[in-house]
Structure formats: C-alpha cells, structure tokens
Amino acid sequence: MLKTFPLAAALAVFATTAFAADAPVVTGKLGEETYLMDAGTHMTLYTFDKDEKGVSNCYDMCAANWPPVVGDADMKLPAGYSLVTRKEGYEQVAYKGMPLYGWVKDEKPGDMTGEGVNGVWHVARP
C-alpha cells in the first residue's frame, strides 16, 4: 500500500506497510530519509536513549509528551518488531527492542521536531 501526503515545498511522505492491515507502524520516506511512523496518523515515531532493550523508562509527564505506540498481545509482528509490557500493564510496540513513541509537538506527517530533544530523543529508523 502506498499513500502520499502533501507537505510544504512539494515534499511528500510515502508510507509502506510493515505489518498486516491493522498494524500500528509503517515505514515512511521523506525525500531520502526513511523512518518509522504511526500507521493511523503517519506521524513520526521516536526512540528514547534512556530506555533499555525491552524496557520503557518513559512514564508520567514523559509519556504525556511522548505517547507510547500501543500494541496488542495478539498482534503478529515481523522480524525486528516486538512488544514491551509497560508498568501500567499494556503493551508498547518496539523496534529492535527499543520502545516507540510519538511526540506531541509534531503537527503534521513528516514533522520531525522531536529529533535531538534534550539530546536523548531520536527519529526511529528501520
């Protein structure tokens, strides 16, 4: 599946599905940059340097600003993707063991304003 979203300066975000039709994450491309994005909103996803493989360390205000990508325990994920159980008891999607998050200050698909925030947030890349 290929979807195009117009952006400023005639740039486009292209999404290709990485999972089944109900998957929470897709791979996107903006110019030459390939990154992970939310399948529903096509917003950029991020990783957090203070997380550990298989463990989220972003809770409370952190999670309010960096919403975790929620998964379902029955979800079939391709190689490289997994689910991390958060302390609240729900599942969070991870890539190569690192939990994935959105960023509340991104306003439209293709925004990557979370890159480098506090030196610990980075655009998630396949």
Residue 101 counted as domain residue? yes
Residue 8 counted as domain residue? no
Q: Please give the Cα distance from 45 to 47 (Å, whole number).
A: 7
pLDDT for 58-115, tens place per residue?
A: 999 999 999 999 999 888 887 899 999 999 999 999 999 999 999 999 999 999 999 9
Total number of domains constituting the chain: 1
Domain of residue 48: give its range. Answer: 25-123
pLDDT for 15-50, tens place per residue?
A: 444 444 556 899 999 888 899 999 989 999 999 999
Angle at 86 (CA atoms; ends 18, 16), nearest 5 degrees: 10
Q: Match 């089944």 to its residue by tokens.
A: 20
Residue 56 counted as domain residue? yes
Residue 93 counted as domain residue? yes
Residue 97 counted as domain residue? yes
Nearest partner of 98 among 82, 74, 85, 121, judged by Cα: 82
Residue 6 counted as domain residue? no
Angle at 79 (CA atoms; ends 73, 85), nearest 5 degrees: 30
Residue 76: its pLDDT value, please? Answer: 83
Q: Match 């929620």 to its residue by tokens.
A: 70
